[in-house]
Amino acid sequence: MKPNKTTVPLRIYHEDTDSGGVVYHANYLRYMERARTEWLCERGFDHDRVAHEVGILFVVRSLDIKFLRPARLGDYLQASAELVEMRRGLMAFDQRVIRGDTELARATVRVISVSLDNFKSVSVPDSMRLALGVDA
């Protein structure tokens, strides 16, 4: 089983910041999305494959985010996603954005699986849950 945590490197560019060179708050969600996407890909499940082969999409149901320190133009950061809970159709992730040893933002992100056809909540297939390292 793979570790439950994935970390991705980030560099802050002009496009990420406001006129003062500080990362715009909504971009932290983009960075966290990248980490969750990589978490899935490392386990063999990119979004396109899951949509077309399994018939489900993963969508954010809720999130609770705390902004602790600003990131700035030119910073090198890391965004992480760690699975902390999984039920039939819900995955909860602990997500962090850090610079060195300094935590800049953290969030709990709850993702649900929905049918590609009608966007109604569905269970993640047992075979996929097992591949993700979760007991079916």
Assign 3-class secondary structure to 8-75.
Answer: EEEECCHHHECCCCEECCCHHHHHHHHHHHHHHHHCCCCHHHHHHHHCEEEEEEEEEEEECCCCECCC
- Look-up of token digits 């097992």: 130
Active-site residue among 16, 18, 46, 135?
18
CATH class of domain segment(s) 5-131: alpha beta
The domain spans of the chain are 5-131
**18 a catalytic residue:** yes
pLDDT tens figures, 57-96: 999 999 999 999 999 999 999 999 999 999 889 999 999 9
Instruction: Output the pTM of the full model.
Output: 0.91
